[in-house]
Chains A and B, each alone.
Chain A
Amino acid sequence: MASVDQEEGNAGVEAGTDSQGRYDGAGSDSGARAAADGNRAGIGGMANPGKYGIERVAYWLMRLTGLGLLAYFIGHIYETSSILQGKMGWDEFLAITQTTEGHILLAIVIGMCVFHTVNGIRVMLGHGGVGVGRAARPDYPYVPASQNYRHKLGIYTAIVLAAIAMMYGLAVMFGV
Chain B
Amino acid sequence: MTEHPILAARLPGMNADALGHVTQTYGPADAPVSIALPKLDAAAIAAVAASVKTATRRTLKTYPVARIVDTLDAAIARLLDRAHPIRRQMDRLLPRLTGYDADMVGLGLTRYLMTFRKPELLRFLAEDFPNPAILDGFQPLPKGGYGRAYGADLTAHIWAGNVPGLPLWSLAAGLLAKSGAVGKVPTAEPLFAGLFVDALAEVDPALAECIAVVWWQGGEEAPERALLEAAELALAYGGNAALAAIRARTPITTRFLAYGHKVSFAMIGREALDAAKTAETARAAAYDVMRYDQQGCFAPHVIFVEAGGRSSPERFAGHLAQELQAFERTYPRRALSLGEAADVAAWRAAAETSPGGAVIGDPAGLWTVAFDDGTDGQFSPSSLNRAIRVVAVQRLEDVAARVAPYRRLLQTAGLACAPDRLFALSAELGLAGVRRVAALGDMTAPEAGWHHDGRFNILDLVEITEIDGRALPTADRLAAYVD
A in complex with B: no
